[in-house]
Amino acid sequence: MRLLSRLAFAVPFLLAACSDSTGTDVPTIETTTFAAALGVDLPASTRTTTGLYYRDLAVGTGATVAAGQTIAVRYTGWLANGTQFDGTAPGGPTASFRIGVGQLIAGWDQGIPGMRVGGRRQLILPPALGYGAQGSGPIPPNAILVFNVEVVSAQ
């Protein structure tokens, strides 16, 4: 009986250890089922120490992107279920950002440096490198995000 009472006491703490500060479960990239249309291929991707996965879809031939540069990109962002939440129009105007200086979500600051201009890369972000427990607009709390990013220019 003593073991059961200790176990009953410990269970809430064990459950809390598997949750974020909001008490909801935080999904992992490795256990997530991605919409087939996203073309996620984890075994072909590189995992960083922060949990970001990236895969070059096309290696560019231009200069290598470094932190601190202003980059022009075309991109699309999806939730793991395939719902698009953001992006630029294919072939349309680019979006410009300064990379690696905290202006963007951490997954971009970590996943874009090292790309070459003209390259396309898929980034798969755990919640902590995206919008975390708070979410943002159409992005729910603790969402795993998938981005396809093309670097058009870097200065």
- Structural domain contains residue 82: yes
- Structural domain contains residue 147: yes
- Structural domain contains residue 50: yes
Q: How confident is the model at residue 2 (pLDDT cuts 50, 70, 90)?
A: very low
- Structural domain contains residue 63: yes
- Structural domain contains residue 90: yes
- Structural domain contains residue 3: no
Domain that holds residue 111: 28-154
- Structural domain contains residue 125: yes
For the entire predicted model, the pTM comes to: 0.84
**98-143 per-position pLDDT tens digit:** 999 999 999 999 999 999 999 999 999 999 999 999 999 999 999 9
Specify the CATH number for the domain of residue 67: 3.10.50.40
**52-73 per-position pLDDT tens digit:** 999 999 999 999 999 999 999 9
Compute the distance between CA of residue 144 and CA of residue 27 in angstroms, rounded to an integer: 7
Domain count, the chain: 1
**83-96 per-position pLDDT tens digit:** 999 999 988 999 99
